[in-house]
Amino acid sequence: MIADHVQKVLGALSAMVGAVISFAAAGGLNQIVGARELQILGLLSVVLGAATTASGVTNTAKVKVAEAMQDAINSTPPKQAGFARVPLLVTLLLTLLAGCALLGVQTPKTLNERVAAAYVSVTTVRQETLSLLQSGKITVTDAKNIESQADNARAGIDIASQLETTNPTQASDRLTVSLSVLQALETYLTQHGSK
């Protein structure tokens, strides 16, 4: 049971790293909070994370005991309310944002830097898809669909890279579209990785 929780946490973390890369590529980190604020959020999220995880494990144990008691008296077993999913995901995201700030992940500024971040992001999407496929969390059909979207995003990034010198505005637009696709894929993978 604890291994299941560890798996959920790690799965969500894995997908969220990719999400943060996409987010950083879009320049999102600078627009929201500074590194100092992220560090404070990091400390808060560590405390919240520990509390949420402990609470999740404890709640699961309580549900198991309740189920056993309900079975003994042959009544309807209680419904499991889940593993504090939304608070956990928020906590993990805050932790990850803070972690990236502490690790010194920089926000890409030039078009080439954004292109670089986008390439890393699409690679991360493919690696996460492979992991989820191998662990049976998504089907082959899901994986094919994700890869198809990732291929489209990659094509857009390639075009943006080629247009960088001749038409920077169009290049930036292409890149923004590709990053939007990648962020949507990361969200999808995060949801499946935390199940």
Partner 1 sequence: MGNALLVIEALTEALGNAQKLSSLLQQAHAEGRDVTDAELSVLRNADDAAKAALDQAIAAP
Least distance between partner 1 and beta carbon 70 (Å): 29
174 touching partner 1, by CB under 8 A: no
159 touching partner 1, by CB under 8 A: no
192 touching partner 1, by CB under 8 A: no
CA nearest neighbour of 179 among 64, 14, 24: 24
CB burial string 72-96: b at 16+ within 10 A, e below = eeeeeeeeeeebbbeebbebbbbbb
Q: Which is nearer to partner 1, 48 or 182 (CB)?
A: 182
> Which tokens go with 24?
């950083």
The DSSP line for the chain is -HHHHHHHHHHHHHHHHHHHHHHHHTTHHHHH--HHHHHHHHHHHHHHHHHHHHHHHHHHHHHHHHHHHHHHTT-PPPPP--S-HHHHHHHHHHHHHHHHHHHTPPPP-SHHHHHHHHHHHHHHHHHHHHHHHHTTSS-HHHHHHHHHHHHHHHHHHHHHHHHTTT-HHHHHHHHHHHHHHHHHHHHHHHHHHT-
Least distance between partner 1 and beta carbon 164 (Å): 9
14 touching partner 1, by CB under 8 A: yes
What is the rounded CA–CA span in Å between residue 93 and residue 101? 12
Q: Which of 18, 42, 49, 56 binds partner 1 (CB under 8 A)?
A: 18
Q: Which of 30, 135, 167, 191 binds partner 1 (CB under 8 A)?
A: 135
Among the listed ranges 41-49, 55-63, 84-92, 104-112, the one in contact with partner 1 (CB under 8 A) is 104-112
88 touching partner 1, by CB under 8 A: no
155 touching partner 1, by CB under 8 A: no
Site for partner 1 (CB under 8 A): how many residues? Answer: 51
Q: Which of 30, 58, 80, 106 binds partner 1 (CB under 8 A)?
A: 106
124 touching partner 1, by CB under 8 A: yes
Q: Which is nearer to partner 1, 107 or 180 (CB)?
A: 107
- Interaction site with partner 1 (CB under 8 A): 3, 6-7, 10-11, 13-15, 17-18, 20-21, 100, 103-106, 108, 110, 112-113, 115-117, 119-120, 122-124, 126-137, 140, 143-144, 147, 150-151, 154, 158, 161, 193
